[in-house]
């Protein structure tokens, strides 16, 4: 194990290999196509291939083939073994040193002035998927959560198909507007307990770390805005995106968040993101 740890730390010492690793961590549990990695990081295919091979040799990344596409993901089992080894070696029989990193519950790690959890959903345009998520969480469990959404490069207005779906589902759309992530990164911004990305482009971006170390996860799904065809076909795509987010948020709000330790919370968030996006009435 010592040799593996040394190799993994050495491999991550290269800035571009580290950038690939960080992007795949943000996208976990997705398996990301090589072409998307190259585009997001501005790397030539041959250069990317060399870096990915190094990460795979180190046991940090796994590869799988889907048809003609090669896709890559973090080898989470090996990464956890690496972190466990480092923490156990660091603690030297003094678990109180490392337990705040590994065993603290969310409420223990983030004492809150109010009984509500603060949740932020991030997309690129903040015009449809993240707006859906904000609205659904507010309606489903507004007594337990403060729901927010933002875009990395927000549109100037909400998508009209998204607004129509929300109206049909009984949401108050008067409180909604497109917002930028920067609004939530100042000293007066809410301290978030959960941060979710709901589109791949937003997850690919190297955003600054959030203060307070919120639990974060990637709940990516297809962009209904990109669907072409008749208005009926476009509307169906937005209804499907709404239904998929409704399913995920209901699974999220059903969890006993106050009693789970951080590791269990993170696994639960990843499992929700990994679940197939199904429709809901």
Q: What is the pLDDT of residues 47-88, one digit of tens each?
A: 999 999 999 999 999 999 988 889 999 999 899 888 877 776
**Which residue segment(s) compose the domain that 39 sits in?**
2-76
Bridge partners, residue 261, by sequence:
105
Give, in order, the Cα–Cα distances in Å from 133 to each of 30, 144, 220.
Answer: 19, 15, 12
Q: Do 231 and 133 belong together in one domain?
A: yes
Residues of the chain falling short of pLDDT 70: 88-114, 206-209, 276-281
- Is residue 100 included in any domain, yes or no? no
**What is the rounded CA–CA span in Å between residue 102 and residue 86?**
12
**What is the rounded CA–CA span in Å between residue 269 and residue 95?**
26
Count H helices, E strands: the chain? 12, 7
Give, in order, the Cα–Cα distances in Å from 267 to each of 46, 77, 261, 264.
Answer: 34, 12, 10, 5
Give, in order, the Cα–Cα distances in Å from 202 to each of 16, 18, 135, 234.
Answer: 19, 18, 19, 22
The answer to whether the beta carbons of residues 168 and 281 sit under 8 Å apart is: no
Tokens of 14: 């290269």
**What is the rounded CA–CA span in Å between residue 115 and residue 43?**
45
The answer to whether the beta carbons of residues 100 and 107 sit under 8 Å apart is: no
The answer to whether the beta carbons of residues 128 and 162 sit under 8 Å apart is: yes
Number of domains observed in the structure of the chain: 2
Give me the helices (H) in 149-260, please.
Answer: 160-168, 200-204, 231-253
Q: Do 7 and 54 belong together in one domain?
A: yes
Q: Do 163 and 252 belong together in one domain?
A: yes
Tokens of 189: 């911004």
Residue 204 has a pLDDT of 78
- Is residue 59 included in any domain, yes or no? yes
Q: Do 66 and 112 belong together in one domain?
A: no
Residue 110 has a pLDDT of 46
The answer to whether the beta carbons of residues 223 and 129 sit under 8 Å apart is: yes
Indicate the pTM of the whole model: 0.72
Tokens of 121: 């959903």
Q: Where among 20, 55, 76 does a domain terminate?
A: 76
Residue 103 has a pLDDT of 40
State the CB neighbour count (10 A cutoff) for residue 74. 22
Q: Where among 61, 76, 91 does a domain terminate?
A: 76
Residue 151 has a pLDDT of 94
Q: Do 156 and 260 belong together in one domain?
A: yes
Residue 209 has a pLDDT of 67
């Amino acid at each position: 194990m010592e040799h593996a740890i040394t190799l993994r730390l050495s491999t991550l010492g290269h800035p571009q290999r580290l950038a690939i690793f960080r992007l795949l961590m943000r996208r976990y549990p997705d398996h990301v196509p090589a072409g998307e990695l190259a585009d997001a990081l501005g790397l030539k295919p041959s250069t990317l291939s060399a870096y990915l091979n190094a990460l795979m040799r180190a046991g940090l990344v796994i590869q799988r083939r889907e048809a003609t596409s090669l896709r890559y993901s973090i080898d989470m089992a090996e990464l956890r073994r690496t972190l466990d080894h480092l923490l156990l070696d660091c603690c030297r029989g003094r678990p109180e040193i490392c337990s705040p990193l590994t065993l603290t519950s969310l409420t223990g790690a983030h004492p809150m002035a109010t009984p509500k959890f603060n949740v932020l959903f991030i997309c690129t345009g903040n015009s449809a998927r993240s707006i859906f998520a904000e609205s659904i969480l507010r309606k489903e469990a507004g007594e337990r959560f403060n729901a927010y959404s933002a875009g990395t490069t927000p549109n100037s207005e909400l998508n009209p198909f998204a607004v129509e779906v929300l109206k049909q589902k009984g949401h108050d759309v008067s409180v909604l507007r497109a917002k930028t992530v920067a609004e939530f990164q100042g000293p007066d911004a809410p301290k978030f307990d959960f941060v979710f990305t709901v589109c791949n482009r937003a997850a690919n971006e190297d955003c600054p770390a959030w203060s307070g170390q919120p639990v974060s996860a990637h709940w990516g799904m297809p962009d209904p805005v990109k669907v072409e065809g008749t208005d009926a076909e476009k509307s169906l795509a937005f209804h499907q995106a709404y239904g998929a987010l409704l399913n995920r948020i209901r699974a999220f709000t059903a969890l006993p968040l106050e009693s789970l330790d951080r590791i269990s919370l993170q696994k639960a968030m990843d499992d929700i993101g990994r679940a197939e996006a199904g429709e809901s009435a």
